[in-house]
Structure 1
Amino acid sequence: MKNPSPEYIDKIISAEISNINIDPDGYAAVKKSMLHGPCGQANTSSPYMQQGKYSKFFPKQFNDTATIGEDAYPIYRRRDRGNSVEKKGALLDNRYVIPYNRNLLVNFDTHINVELCNWARSIKYIFKYINKGPDRATAVIETAEERDEIRAYLDCRYISVCMACWRIFQFSINYRYPSVERLPFHLPGEHTVIFEENRCIENVLNIPGIKKTKFTEWLETNKRNEDARNLTYVEFPKNWIWNSKEKIWTRRKKGKAVGIIYFAHPASE
């Protein structure tokens, strides 16, 4: 709705402190989750203060009727009724209330910012708001002769809302499925050998099994097992597992894997 009436806005969205005598549940929910600040003159040390002004545009102005501003953003009803809530030693009135829907707020009992979406800029803000990611912090790493690992863990450990929900629902933190088996191929005696810089090359070449690779042992497995010949090199990991310690292919008993051959440029010799 591009030009909603004040009655329509007030029916869905509120930006006022509920009357404690008429709606005690709404009053308690607003006091707990929907008050911004204290900020501005009530808290000049707020991190959002810039050049003596609060960058988040709080406190708002009192307004007897909900309207649509020139920038297409709604200006919610915030009547000056003299009601206020004490928070961190400051009295906050309707000018500090974040817009909310009463039923959503009371039912979920958490911070839920509800805005009227009536312009393209409002839609853009919604997508920006829900995709801005977790909170960030600036950290300084210092070295010390005696490092207290437990204290360092407690000081630096931070779990954002996204991470907390992920853990509550017991989703996997990381996983890889299906397993990927990289399959090298090479000419005889030209396979890659990795060794430490200070190792003697002659000793490296005399290591047992140094000449065995996934590719050479795939060929040997095909010689010994007739059913293995029905699989291509890429299909082989589906039914066989590479034992890197023994450097042999063994039959797969469970699970599956995808084989990927190393890239070779057409100009390679």
Structure 2
Amino acid sequence: MNRMTNQEQKSLKKTMILLLLLLVALATAIGVFVWILAEETLLGYRLIGVVLLAVLVALSIIALSGMVAFRRLWYNKPIPIWMFSMSHFFLRWLYPTLTHMSLWFNIDKDDIRRAYTRLNNQALLNHKKRYNADEVLILTPHCLQQAACGIKITNDITQCTECGACNISGLLDLQRRYQVEVVVVTGGTLARKRIQDMKPALVIAIACERDLMSGLMDVRQLPVYALTNERPEGPCHNTRVNLLEVEQVLKRFIKR
């Protein structure tokens, strides 16, 4: 659960390169604005310049904190909770910029998403907080169910006949053994509604990189441990999840 995969390491490296390029661009822009302010004499233009300069400095601080956090993750060092809190600002203000930059440098957006979800997970692990079983919600997409299965489990996972053809039966087993709630959802809107209705203290979310990132942006105030699904048959079709990893996460966060 703590060890990074080769794919995660590559994603983290690419994200740090993009952040470094962004920091260079921001530093250059700050230098230009400082020079303009030194030369400008009209009060109105100076005030506008000061405001823009303050925005650039704030973005630089957020980008720098993100870079430091990713470097600590790279060297397997703890992520302080305050640094993780700063990363929420990174997510809101710099993630769109980095995704646009990724197009210029032919970097997959999933690399950025994968790096951030890894940072998110590591920060939660470092926080060492534990929860009661009834405070934990496992959210999983309906594509984890076999497409050929005719049983509707989005309202009630216990309808699963546990034939073993997909991972739903394994999640149902974890629900029984750990007394947590497992909910299968058909999309982000329903996922957000379930969270609002059930009010969990911790969410363990299973989805693709894009949906996980979207979820992290939607519920910034709620701890979410993000698990990327496996897609042997392509996106949104007969996906899988590492059940051993799900159980390890439950063991780590549930009070005993």
Task: Determine if the TM-score, normalized by the shorter chain, exceeds 0.5.
Answer: no
Q: Which has the higher contact order (CA 8 A, sep 6+)?
A: 2
* TM-score scaled by length of structure 1: 0.20
Greater helix content: 2
When Rg is computed on C-alpha atoms for both structures, the one with the higher figure is 1
